[in-house]
């Protein structure tokens, strides 16, 4: 017989998650998971970041702001990450990293940097990214940011929305078992479609985000 832990240590997370769990319980039984068959037959229904189908059932009258739940700015077992992109290539339709933000489990920012892409920026995508030319003038080199982010997330739970896009922009990888991606969480999938972070935040946390220009800091305080 193996020994058992008498007092297992609990992972401390932002109280926003408690609010989310309570809301999920209120909803009642768990919705059925979309079948693998339907996902295989309809790959076009799996939408990417910034392209999710909107949810028009959100009641905006109950939206409230989020604030950090502690003054602790240290590294925690779980780290949330969000990136904003700018357009490069002659047509500006290729995405490149323009800003990356990390917050700890308490909702406090532990890293936030603008990034100077290797390629020339053609479209700052300000209406979506919130990034302006002056921001990238004070940005850091891509390699320096990439190295720092890799150090901060190594061996930790990484939380985010459509993390595959952010990791791709950073040219980084992360253990699948340590990823917590809200775009792929089955209870958040609606009618086989991935939903935007904005509508998930409004429905489950009562928070209004990404109303206009996006801000990676505001998005990450959800976690």
Q: Where are the alpha helices (DSSP H) in 7-115?
A: 16-26, 36-41
Token pair for 175 = 């253990």
Q: In which residue are the tokens 């004070």 written?
A: 138
- Give the pairing of strands 78-88 and 94-103: antiparallel
pLDDT digits (tens, 9 = 90+) for 133-158: 999 999 999 999 999 999 999 999 99
8 A C-beta contact, residue 215 and residue 198: no
Does the CA dihedral 114-163-27-69 come out positive or negative? negative
φ and ψ of 94, to 5 deg:
-100, 130
* Rounded CA separation 66/88 (Å): 33
List the one residue out of 46, 90, 60, 75 whose CA is nearest residue 193.
46
Residue 4 burial (CB count, 10 A): 6
The pTM of the full predicted model, rounded to 2 decimals, is 0.64
- DSSP summary character for residue 91: T
Domains of the chain, each with CATH number or no CATH: 76-223 (3.30.420.10)
Closest CA to 198 of 178, 185, 212: 212
Return d(Cα 14, Cα 17) in angstroms, integer.
6
pLDDT digits (tens, 9 = 90+) for 61-116: 444 456 788 899 999 999 999 999 999 999 898 999 999 999 999 999 999 999 99
pLDDT digits (tens, 9 = 90+) for 166-212: 999 999 999 999 999 888 877 677 766 777 777 777 777 777 776 65
């Amino acid at each position: 017989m193996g020994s058992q832990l008498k007092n297992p240590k609990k992972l401390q997370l932002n109280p926003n998650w408690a609010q989310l769990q309570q809301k999920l319980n209120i909803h009642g039984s768990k919705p059925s998971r979309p079948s693998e068959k339907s996902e295989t037959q309809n790959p076009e229904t799996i939408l990417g970041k910034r392209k999710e189908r909107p949810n028009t059932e959100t009641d905006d009258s109950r939206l409230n702001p989020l604030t950090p739940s502690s003054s602790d700015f240290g590294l925690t077992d779980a780290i949330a990450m969000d990136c904003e992109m700018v357009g490069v290539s002659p047509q500006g339709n290729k995405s490149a990293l323009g800003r990356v933000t990390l917050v700890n489990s308490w909702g406090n920012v532990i890293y936030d940097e603008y990034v100077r892409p290797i390629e020339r920026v053609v479209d700052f995508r300000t209406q979506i990214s919130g990034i302006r030319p002056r921001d990238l003038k004070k940005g850091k080199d891509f390699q320096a940011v990439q190295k720092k982010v890799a150090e901060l997330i190594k061996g930790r739970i990484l939380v985010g929305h459509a993390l595959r896009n952010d990791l791709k922009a950073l040219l980084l990888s992360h253990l699948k078992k340590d990823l917590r991606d809200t775009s792929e969480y089955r209870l958040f999938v609606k009618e086989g479609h991935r939903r935007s972070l904005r509508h998930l935040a409004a429905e489950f946390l009562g928070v209004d985000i990404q109303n206009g220009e996006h801000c990676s800091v505001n998005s990450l305080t959800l976690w």
